[in-house]
């Protein structure tokens, strides 16, 4: 059995990237396809997710998300990428 705490491991389902967001009560663990989707998922667990609190698994550890280097895609209500 691993001694690594659950919040320090990648937990996303196959095909998704592991993210975590620091909240006032601890870590919210998230599986998502991209940063924006991770924030949408976080909003299901907390009323005010902060982008600066989001971290992504880099293959070895969780690191802070660099929002300025990531192109955000806006998805409409039908799941299609909006222009």
Per-residue pLDDT reduced to its tens digit, 14-72: 999 999 999 999 999 999 999 999 999 999 999 999 999 999 999 999 999 988 755 55
- Whether residue 81 is contained in a domain is answered as no
Of residues 1 and 68, more confidently modeled: 68
For the chain, the domain total comes to 1
| 82 found inside a domain | no
Residue 18 belongs to domain spanning? 6-69
Alpha-carbon separation of residue 52 from 6, 49, 55 (angstroms): 21, 9, 8
Report if residue 74 sits inside a domain: no
27 token code pair: 């870590």
pTM surpassing 0.85? Answer: no
**Three-state SS at 12:** coil
Asked whether residue 79 is domain-assigned, the answer is no
Domain assignment present for 46: yes
């Amino acid at each position: 059995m691993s001694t690594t705490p659950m919040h320090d491991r990648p937990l996303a389902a196959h095909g998704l990237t592991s993210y975590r967001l620091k909240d006032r009560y601890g870590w919210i663990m998230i599986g998502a396809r991209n940063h924006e989707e991770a924030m949408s998922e976080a909003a299901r667990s907390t009323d005010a997710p902060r982008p600066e609190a989001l971290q992504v698994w880099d293959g070895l550890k969780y690191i802070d998300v660099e929002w300025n280097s990531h192109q955000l895609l806006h998805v409409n209500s039908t799941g299609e990428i909006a222009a």
